[in-house]
Structure 1
Amino acid sequence: MGIVHSSVVEAPRDELFAWHARPGAFTRLSPPWQPLRLERESESLESGRAELVLPAGLRWVAQHDASEYDPPHRFVDYSSALPIRLLVPWRHTHIFDVVSENSTRITDRVDTVVPGRFLRSTFVYRHRQLADDIARHQWASTLLPGPLTIAVTGSSGLVGSALSAFLSTGGHRVVRLVRHAPRTPNERRWNTSDPAEDLLDGVDAVIHLAGASIAGRFTDSHRRAIRESRIAPTRRLAELAARCGLKVFVSASAIGYYGPHRGDAILDEQDERGDGFLADVVAEWEEASKVAADAGVRVVHVRTGIVQSPNGGVLRLQRPLFELGLGGRLGTGTQWLSWIDIDDLLDVYHRALVDAELRGAVNAVAPNPVRNEEYTAVLASVLRRPACLPVPDFGPRLLLGEQGARELALADQRVTPRRLLERDHRFRRPDLRAALRHQLGRFGTDEG
């Protein structure tokens, strides 16, 4: 039993082997639908060990075998911790064979008691992620003279953790701006109300993602947390970026800027803001970084749509219900949903870093928004479940309150990524079905 999975990646062997050796590789290759949490990444492909936590507190330790380490041709890891070592013996050989000067055959050979059919989706996912990430970094290398040092706020969140891993595997140095005492050499203490003058020393660019979650009932305290976690901290960080002469300041933003109920109007970056609490907050949030733009820093506001990842956001909430056959449209189901695959969102942030022509507001949404009823039908189809239990309007109102339901669950925004399309930006997964199949590991038999 076990599996042998192979594919050709368009990159030199040395480049691919180096990618696997960098921090973040394990994160980028870990399927998001699996119930695993990485606690410690391996510090070496030769003899290091990665530690993961499974449900029920079980631990999986992937120990690298020094006797099998043969760079850039091969490295090997195996499960070494009890009881997993006895229950699921596992030996994983990673093989890199030259096909040509600029292409390499990657082969994963896993010896285990687990039948290969249960492992196939994992390795289809891993090989796709590797090929797509490498292609994006190769594209960026044509625009950059060398790797960057990038300071990231919100690096432990859904987007921040994935983006930090993507950037570090690409050879960039990621400096995590954290609010606790630094635990690693790549962390710096960030006082949001009074950032230290040396906070950004040696930094080329900032990606600012931090902010309280907008999910929840729009009580006075929740609205205050949303606003206070964004406006003033962004302004102070932008002021520091201006004083330091930073090259790039990329800040998270949201399509909430356009207001919650815009109907069939196709919205791009030139459209005026809408009404509502979130529209007001987003406008102030973007204005807070104006001081950096006025000082000559290239500032980009990434107006993000509904992120598709089973690790967080709407999909994480809906997936269990749909898998139980309890899913259905929200309200009338006619409201537009402007979504984006999480890996496409990482690519937008990446482009914001390296594309000198990109500045100001950028809509980070897929080019094909869908109505809620279509989203519901596609998700149910991908999970092979019915979706026949519609949720009436009073459901979100009961859970989120009137304002929360209006601005979140029942929002109706048909947004297009005009700026990105003008730059000939390539989306990895512009189609909703393809995005959900990739993120949920529901691949067809002809894929791989």
Structure 2
Amino acid sequence: MAQVLSAGGVVRALIMSGHRVSVLSRQSPSDVRRLLTSSVRPVQSLNAINPSVAFDAIINLAGEPVMAKRWSHQRKRLLLDSRVGLTGELVDLIERLENRPDTLISCSAVGYYGHHSASEPQSESSTAGSDFAASLCERWEQAAKRAESLGVRVCIVRTGLVLHQNNGALHEMLPPFRLGLGGPIGSGKQMMSWIHSDDMTRVITFLLNNESLRGAFNATSPNPVSNREFARALGGALRRPAIIPVPTIVLKLLLGESSAMVTHGQAAIPERLQEAGFIWEQPEIKDALRQLLIKPSYF
């Protein structure tokens, strides 16, 4: 169960594999089917699910966008409710189901590691940070782990920057870069943990299909890059210069506390996926961006 925009690739991959998929969304059933496929079963409320209904697995990708607005007290409450609160409701659903699912795959983020050592590689065994984003992720994960006590296999997917051609952070970056006004943020030395959206879908289906895997997994490319390298690769993919820096103070004025997520960053390493034998189709940032931006509509 996931938000429609986040779940599109996963839903289509599952349906193509022969699964029947229910999608929890605040959008109308007709909009869900239009955005995804007529094959899905839209669900608008967890309370509407009959306890006799059986699910083999639940995939939780829901959550309000972290960087969409400044982190006011009200905004932080909304971020917590959309992640920790909803995940708790999903586990409550699992508890009351007559036939509990075998697996819960629940997203988190590499923000779990905080910014106390942002230049150092962070594996799944690294400790949680102490800022709001880290606390949010830690509480989010704890809410999901409660399903383990119900006999459910739980996989936590700590996502990096998911690169998608039609939405998300990459889509927001494109206008200035297309005009030749893009560039590194601040010093450009901060690390970026990223993953191509197709590989993100493949990570989820990989975890779904490998029943021996459980616990936390960094869903990132094995090759994190500096912000300067990312800007250079994006400019190259668009055949535009990418040399105009964005001063850190500007981001702080615009975004407040949340600006630390892009001015500090993390270098998350997908150690457990590598050990499990997962193979990335797009492990290099230059190739990933070129593949994503090959469509004529982006030029």
- TM-score in terms of structure 2 length: 0.90
Match of 1:410 in 2: 263
Q: Deviations over 1:279-326 (max 9, x none)?
A: 111111111122211111011111000011121222111111111100
Preserved contact between residue 382 and residue 442 of structure 1 (Cα < 8 Å): no
How many Å separate the matches in 1 of 2:265 and 2:40? 41
How many Å separate the matches in 2 of 1:260 and 1:223? 18
How many Å separate the matches in 2 of 1:200 and 1:278? 37
Within the candidate set 10, 19, 34, 1:172 is matched to 19
Within the candidate set 175, 178, 186, 1:320 is matched to 175
Letter in 1 for 2:18: G
Query: Highest CA radius of gyration, 1 or 2?
Result: 1
Aligned partner of residue 54 in structure 2, secondary structure:
coil
Spell out the pairing of 1:129-140 with structure 2 (5 A cutoff): none
1:234 deviation in Å?
0.8
Match of 1:340 in 2: 195
Preserved contact between residue 304 and residue 364 of structure 1 (Cα < 8 Å): yes
- TM-score in terms of structure 1 length: 0.61
* Count of matched residue pairs: 286
Spell out the pairing of 1:155-304 with structure 2 (5 A cutoff): 156-157=4-5, 159-179=6-26, 182-183=29-30, 186-191=40-45, 195-196=47-48, 198=50, 201-215=53-67, 216-244=69-97, 245-304=100-159
How many Å separate the matches in 2 of 1:281 and 1:375? 26
How many Å separate the matches in 2 of 1:165 and 1:286? 26
Kindly indicate which of the two structures has a greater share of residues assigned to helix: 2
Preserved contact between residue 191 and residue 226 of structure 2 (Cα < 8 Å): yes
Letter in 1 for 2:74: S
Aligned partner of residue 302 in structure 1, secondary structure:
strand
Letter in 2 for 1:171: G
Q: Which runs of 5+ in 2 are unaligned?
A: 34-38
Preserved contact between residue 54 and residue 101 of structure 2 (Cα < 8 Å): no
Aligned partner of residue 288 in structure 2, secondary structure:
helix
How many Å separate the matches in 1 of 2:102 and 2:289? 35
How many Å separate the matches in 1 of 2:42 and 2:198? 26
How many Å separate the matches in 1 of 2:15 and 2:250? 42
1:392 aligns with 2:244: no
Aligned partner of residue 118 in structure 2, secondary structure:
strand
CA RMSD of aligned residues (A): 1.9
Aligned partner of residue 264 in structure 1, secondary structure:
coil
Q: Which runs of 5+ in 1 are unaligned?
A: 1-151, 444-448
Letter in 2 for 1:293: E
Preserved contact between residue 338 and residue 370 of structure 1 (Cα < 8 Å): yes
Match of 1:374 in 2: 229
Which runs of 4 or more aligned residues in structure 1 lie more than 3 Å from their structure 2 counterparts after TM superposition? 179-186
Moved more, 214-223 or 195-204: 195-204
Equivalent pairs: percent with the same residue? 36
1:197 deviation in Å?
5.2
Kindly indicate which of the two structures has a greater share of residues assigned to strand: 1
Letter in 1 for 2:155: V
Aligned partner of residue 156 in structure 2, secondary structure:
strand
1:180 deviation in Å?
5.3
How many Å separate the matches in 1 of 2:40 and 2:164? 26
Taking structure 1 as reference, are residues 199 and 163 closer, same or farther at Cα in structure 2, changes over 3 Å only?
Answer: farther
Letter in 2 for 1:189: V
Aligned partner of residue 250 in structure 1, secondary structure:
strand
Taking structure 1 as reference, are residues 305 and 436 closer, same or farther at Cα in structure 2, changes over 3 Å only?
Answer: same
